[in-house]
Structure 1
Amino acid sequence: MTTGLMAGVFGLYQHTVMVGLGRSDDRTFIGAFQALDRAIINPWFMLSFGGALLFTAVAAFLSPGRQILPWVLAALVLYIVVFGITVAVNVPMNDALKAAGSPDTITDLAAVREAFNEARWVAFNLVRTIATTAAFGCLCWALVVRGKLG
């Protein structure tokens, strides 16, 4: 469930949030992105984001047979990639944009937006979206295989 929720979060950012923000002016982009980034750090998101990794690892450990283990391990590897990209790329980019300060106090909004590098953020988010969706698919298939076993 948590992996599916994360696929939805990353997908929504990919096809809606960043597209909408990309069409906005610099002040709106910076202010809205900062507000979204502050809002997303909440217990529900953290449960889903960390839970997807934890619960998939537990599922791999408790896997009842060789038939489903490859699917669960594939999901785990895919989500480890997602977790790593998030921690190494997207979060530092988010933090740098927040560190720029309020849009009301930034003297060169265009330079701050350019330094953020939306295209890079979106490209790495696309990888997260595809990998998390694939991980969710692997976990779903593991359930199908498990159902056929018994």
Structure 2
Amino acid sequence: MRITALMAATLSMGLVAGVFGLYAHTIMPGLARTDDRTFVGAFQSIDRAIINPWFMAGGFLGALLFTVLAALAYIGRPALPWIVAALVLYAITVVITLVVNVPLNDAIKAAGNPGHIDVAAVREAFDEMRWRGWNLVRVIASTTAFGLLAWALTLSGTSG
């Protein structure tokens, strides 16, 4: 059970780090090059699509749950400090997501159909630079957490 929890934590953390990274180096730069109507409509569609059981359970919430389980399973073992550090970094990522990114996502979705709204005003209110800046923090924190969990797996393999 111990190694299974740590492997699940590592895999789900990798998934989340990859998603945040993909937003940072592909999705948001691509959307930045579009007109206002395309930006608003595409972002609304992408945000609706990412809220699905596969990503939420297997990635976003799964990374948190599995890392907590791994921490509990590794109490008293050499890998524990690395798992706890990963958990702290991912908790920061979750807070940033809930306090910054989700409210911005929800506001752009609530604006309505891009064909019937002032898309320039909606895009400006969205504040792309704020969203992207905090997403970069999420990328760094979750990728570092992934690395820490990978190191914990290494320690787990060498310490029995």
Counterpart residue number, 1:136: 146
Shift of 1:49: 0.5
Counterpart residue number, 1:4: 14
**Structure 1 runs not aligned, ≥5 long:** none
Counterpart residue number, 2:44: 34
1:98 to 105, 109, 112: 109
TM-score, length-normalised on structure 2?
A: 0.91
Q: Once the two structures are superposed, what CA deviation does each residue of 1:30-72 show, in whole Å capped at 9, x if it has no partner?
A: 0000000001111111111100000000100110534111000
Aligned: 1:113 with 2:123: yes
Moved over 4 A (4+): none
Counterpart Cα distance in 2 of 1:43 and 1:111 = 32
2:81 to 63, 66, 70: 70
2:51 aligned partner, one-letter code: I
Superposition RMSD on alpha carbons, in Å? 0.9
Counterpart Cα distance in 1 of 2:137 and 2:87 = 15
Count the aligned residue pairs.
149
**Structure 2 runs not aligned, ≥5 long:** 1-10
Task: Report 1:77-88 matches (<5 A).
Answer: 77-88=88-99
Over the matched positions of the two proteins, sequence identity in percent amounts to: 64
Shift of 1:9: 0.3
1:53 aligned partner, one-letter code: L
Q: Secondary structure at the residue paired with 2:116?
A: coil
Name the structure with the higher helix share.
2
Aligned: 1:22 with 2:35: no
Q: Once the two structures are superposed, what CA deviation does each residue of 1:94-115 show, in whole Å capped at 9, x if it has no partner?
A: 0000111110000x22111011
Aligned: 1:149 with 2:159: yes
Counterpart Cα distance in 2 of 1:126 and 1:5 = 16
1:149 aligned partner, one-letter code: S
1:53 to 56, 61, 64: 64
Counterpart Cα distance in 2 of 1:144 and 1:120 = 36
Counterpart Cα distance in 2 of 1:35 and 1:92 = 16
